[in-house]
Structure 1
């Protein structure tokens, strides 16, 4: 004997709507937590651990020289596929580099001249 009242199957629109609502809720939660993490004092400093890359120089495709500042000490490090090694502890900190002004690429300069931005 069949049951008197069979449960109705969920509609496709209701399933998609619920999924989109859950996705929007998760994305809103992620953005809210990211916003709060930037606003909490000391959160980003604690995450960095007092390290700062002063300058770096690429030696090859996967090799770099780095000057890293730890507190008030600057270290010269070599980083590559085999790992990172300390090369030297700098006795005098490097002077702060002047802000770099990069000249416009030739194509960008020609394009700007074409549209009348540069005379």
Structure 2
């Protein structure tokens, strides 16, 4: 019985040893084929990125867009990590103190601070960039 088991075990090994070792050559697709494959893969990844960006914008538009209840009226930095924020909720304005670990309501204004809707404050860099591009802020509709 042991001889029979040894014969079965050694049979495939002997067959492998008897055959000459041949390496299958790689298909010679050339550089053009590899370049096409690379470009198709890159195009697929870039297309997937654009698709996900489009989906993110669509998902964000589902929520309340123009009818937001809470509006940031003004913000003033007091230090590197502390600031005062004036928030409007409906018709009521609340002055908040923000620190890294806490938000504290400081004062509820009896009369709301009037909002300057006529001129939107733009950062200095954005304003300078618009001037350089030849687009004046007054041209906005």
Q: TM-score, normalised by structure 1?
A: 0.54
**Deviation at residue 50 of structure 1 after TM alignment:** 4.1
> Larger % of helix: which?
2
Q: Is the radius of gyration larger for structure 1 or structure 2?
A: 2
Match of 1:99 among 113, 119, 126: 119
The gaps in structure 2 that reach 5 residues or longer are 1-19, 133-141
Q: CA separation of 1:32/1:70 partners in 2, compared to 1, >3 Å: closer, same or farther?
A: farther
Within 2, Cα distance between the matches of 1:53 and 1:101?
Answer: 13
Q: CA deviation at 1:13?
A: 6.8
Aligned match of 1:24 in 34, 43, 49? 43
Residue equivalent to 1:74: 93
2:70 is aligned to 51
Higher relative contact order (CA 8 A, sep 6+): 1
SS in 1 for 2:106: strand
- Number of residues of Structure 1 aligned to a counterpart in Structure 2: 103
Q: Which residue of 2 aligns with 1:115?
A: none
Q: CA-atom RMSD, angstroms?
A: 4.0
Aligned partners of 2:76 and 2:53: how far apart in 1?
32
Quickly say closer, same or farther: Cα 1:18–1:82, change in 2 above 3 A: same
Displacement of 1:65? 0.6
User: Any conservation in 2 of the 1:38–1:44 contact (CA below 8 Å)?
Assistant: no
Q: As a proportion of its length, which structure holds more strand?
A: 1
If the length of structure 2 is used for normalisation, what is the TM-score?
A: 0.48
